[in-house]
Structures are given as C-alpha cells and as structure tokens.
Amino acid sequence: MANNFNSADIGAFKNVWVFCEQRQGSMMPTSYELISEGRKLADELGVELHGILLGDDVDGLAKELGGYGADKVYVYNSPLLKNYTTDAYTKVICDAAMEFKPEIFLVGASNIGRDLAPRVAARLHTGLCADCTHLDVDLNGYIEFLKTGSSLNLEGTKFESKLFDVNTNLKMTRPAFGGHLMATIVCPRFRPAMATVRPGVMKKRPFDAAKAEAVEIIHPAFELTAEDMKTEVLEVVKSAKKLVDLIGADIIVSVGAGISKDVQTGLKLAQELADELGGVVGASRAAVDAGYITADHQVGQTGKTVHPKVYVALGISGAIQHKAGMQDSELIIAVNKAENAPIFEVADYGICGDLFKVVPQLIESIRAEKAAK
C-alpha cells in the first residue's frame, strides 16, 4: 500500500478528515470544533467529512461526531491504541490516509496533536501548517475574512496564481513571529493539506440529533503490533489541580507583570475579582515567564486564544501576542499604571491607575452594585 502512495498525485485525494482526539475514553472538546469547521470546508468543496477516531473500545464516541457534522467516522479500536503513543497513532493514521486519501486533514493543536501531526506529515510527504486560527477553501470567503481580519489593502491585492487553483486549495491562516504577523499558507503540490488548529478558535455548530443517528461508523482492517511501538506509556496522571478552563470561560481576569510589586496580593486580588464576576484567572506571558503563575493560565500566542464575554487585564501592558490572544473578547477592561500601555488600544474601558489600589475599590463597587439590585 505504502509503496503505491504518491502524495503528489493530488487528483487522487478527496474528502475532509478530522483527527478526533480522545483521552481516557473522553472526547477532547476541540474535536467537535474541528468537525464543525471541517463541515464548512467539506461543503465548500462539495465532498464528505470524515472523522478518524483511535482508541480502545471507543465506538460510543463516534455518534456525537455525526451530530456536529461528520458523515462517516473511521474507528480504530485496539488495546495498543488506548493511550496515545506517537508510533502507534502515526502508523495507523498514515496507513489509513494512504488507503483512503483525504485531501484535507485537520488535527487539534493540543500537546498530542502537535506531536502527531508533524510526524504524519513527514511520513506522508506533505505540508502541515501549525496552529491555524482561520481556514478557507472558498476564495470569496477568504477575501471576506481579510476585510475584517487583516490590515491588507484589498484593492491592490492579487489573489490569482499560475501555480495552483486558489479557489479549491485550502488557505490556512496562522499567527507568526509572536503574533506580530499573520501568514496564510497553502500546500498546493501535495495531499492531504494538513493543519493543526488552535483549541478554542473554531466555533462548535449546534448539535443535530438526526445527523448523529445517521453517521456511518466504519471499522477498517488495520495492522498494528507491539513491535511497532518504540515508546511505552508507564502512567497517565491527571493534574491534581483543576485544569484552568480559559477557553470555555465567560469571564477572565488576567494578571501581567504589573503584579510584580506584591505577587501574592496581586494574585489574591485577581482571584477575588474573578470570584465576584464568576470568572477564572488568566495571565500574560510575562507573568508566566516570571514564575508568578503556572503556564496553564497563559493567554496569547503560545498560550490560548480566548473570546470570553468579559476580559479584565490587570497590569498587562499588552504585548501584541497577548492582544492577539484576547482581542476578540466581547468586552475588555484594562487597568494599567502606564497611560500609553498598548492594552488600552483594545480596551473598551480603561482605567489608568495602580491595580493594587483600583481592584479592591472595584470589588467593593461591584458588591455595592449587586447589593443595590
């Protein structure tokens, strides 16, 4: 099979694939986001959307993928696939891709997806674009996206290419250079065009119960033995502390380098304000790098992209990668001592002041407002 496979024979490839990541038998929420986005791309191409699901006895997870838009789900069950390992997952997925030849393959940019996708792309000899935040097949849709998603002057921009069909090739947009630049990447000469997609960026479609019932579940034959696996997972440990669910949060109160004066108090104030608003605590890269708070709280380029209803930035100057990670929040409030801090450029409401003074007052004001209701 592998001997006949030619990733450059692009006409032989059809349909959109999504790697549906499960951990310990639970589907990762990003899988639903990717299925939803994959549905859009499949519709633009007029092809089917297929999920690919690996695990041990995971058939029960397949239907729900149908509810978000999958036409078919390829399920690969084996005790050897219970825990993620690079070798086993890469082998099964590459063999499947060589057999069924998808033209687009999306993978969530989780710590597992970012381990798997590059290895798969290297084996298949195809291109992979990392951490995409926007995907288009349709050129008009892409141009519409650029109108609000870029600072490009579209009047002077040419979109035609002599080298490939700009209307059918996947256009993969991602931040680069710490979010200072955006780049749209294409993979015109090889298939599948592969992308990892940042968790939390793509919107989940409404669940369609009828589509969930209609999804076709397929169990293709596959070969995998223990000898294929050169790494062994000895244990999987869930973090004792609750995972900071920044992506799903409606309200985020983030701290930056501005808490350096008194880190303990700064964090306590942020937590108190978050509790008062019913939200969670996030952080800028500077605060994480300084060791004030753990990396799972980080918002921004190498952290997470968030779009909560309310985002409160405390002592965050607003490096461009941080702004890129939070500027789509519905309401942004910023407190910073520096009047010219870039964070105020994206804030709906700004207060120029010391967070150690402003936040306790704000908590009091909120309590008073609540009491008055």
Partner 1 sequence: MKILVTVKQVPDTSGKVAVNPDGTLNRASMQTIINPDDMNAIEAALALKDELGCKVVAVTMGPFAAESMLRELMAMGVDESVLISGREFGGSDTYATSQIVAAGLDTYGIDEDDIILCGRQAIDGDTAQVGPQIAEKLHLPQVTYASEIKKEGNTLFIKRELEDGYMTVKVQTPCVITCVKELNTPRYMSVLGTEECYDKPMIVYDYPALQNHALIEPDTIGLKGSPTNIFKSFTPPMKGAGQMLEGDGKETTDKLAGILAAKHII
Give residues 229-258 in contact with partner 1 (rule: CB under 8 A). 230-239, 243, 251
295 binding partner 1? (CB under 8 A): yes
Which C-beta is closer to partner 1: that of 210 or that of 237?
Answer: 237
Distance in Å, CB of 226 to partner 1, minimum = 13
Ordered DSSP codes for 72-114: EEEEEE-GGGSS--HHHHHHHHHHHHHHH--SEEEEE-STTHH
Distance, CA of 109 to CA of 103 (rounded, Å): 19
259-288 residues near partner 1, rule: CB under 8 A: 276-277, 285
| 226 interacts with partner 1 by CB under 8 A | no
- Is residue 162 within the footprint of partner 1 (CB under 8 A)? no
Could you say whether residue 368 binds partner 1 (CB under 8 A)?
A: yes
Q: Which is nearer to partner 1, 3 or 148 (CB)?
A: 148
* Interacting positions 348-367 with partner 1 (CB under 8 A): 348-354, 357-358, 361-362, 364-366
Cβ neighbours of residue 49 closer than 8 Å, sequence gap 6 or more = 15, 16, 18, 35, 38, 39, 41, 42, 69, 70, 71, 72
Instruction: Note whether 199 and 108 are within 8 A (CB).
Output: yes
CB of 212 to partner 1, least distance (A): 26
Which residues are CB-contacts of 2 (< 8 A; sequence separation ≥ 6)? 94, 95, 98
Report the C-alpha gap between 288 and 325 in whole angstroms: 15
Which phi and psi (to 5°) does residue 14 adopt? -150, 150
Distance CA 176, CA 178 (A): 6
- Strand-pair partners of 145: none
Binding residues with partner 1: total (CB under 8 A): 102
Measured CA to CA, the distance from residue 270 to residue 274 in angstroms comes to: 6
Minimum CB distance to partner 1, residue 333 (Å): 7
Nearer to partner 1, 1 or 243 (CB): 243
Q: What six digits make up the tokens of 218? A: 């397929």
Q: Which residues inside 99-138 make contact with partner 1, applying CB under 8 A?
A: 110-112, 114-115, 117-119, 121-123, 125-131
Cβ at position 225, least distance to partner 1 in Å: 16
Q: Report the nearest approach of partner 1 to the CB of residue 208 (Å).
A: 28
Report if residue 338 touches partner 1, rule: CB under 8 A. Answer: no
d(CA 104, CA 335): 43
Closest separation in Å from C-beta 187 to partner 1: 5
Element (H, E) at 283: strand 280-283
- 291 burial type by CB count under 10 A (0-12 exposed, 13-18 middle, 19+ buried): exposed
Could you say which of 78, 150, 260, 265 contacts partner 1 (CB under 8 A)? 150
State yes or no: residue 183 binds partner 1 (CB under 8 A). yes
| 225 counts as binding partner 1 under rule CB under 8 A | no
189, 204, 205, 307: which one binds partner 1 (CB under 8 A): 189
Q: Which of 3, 4, 148, 340 touches partner 1 by CB under 8 A?
A: 148
Separation of alpha carbons 217 and 50, rounded Å: 10
Q: How far is the CB of 267 from partner 1 (least distance, A)?
A: 19
- How far apart are CB 62 and partner 1 at their closest, in Å? 22
Q: Which of 184, 260, 265, 271 binds partner 1 (CB under 8 A)?
A: 184
Place of tokens 């060589």: 98
Q: Is the separation of the CB atoms in 59 and 70 below 8 Å?
A: no
CB contact at 8 A, 335 and 276: no
Segment interacting with partner 1 (CB under 8 A) among 45-53, 99-107, 149-157, 253-261: 149-157
Complex with partner 1: residue 216 or 364, whichever CB lies closer: 364
Rounded CA gap, 239 and 232, in Å?
20
**Among 98, 185, 212, 290, contact with partner 1 (rule: CB under 8 A):** 185
Site for partner 1 in 27-86 (CB under 8 A): 83-84, 86
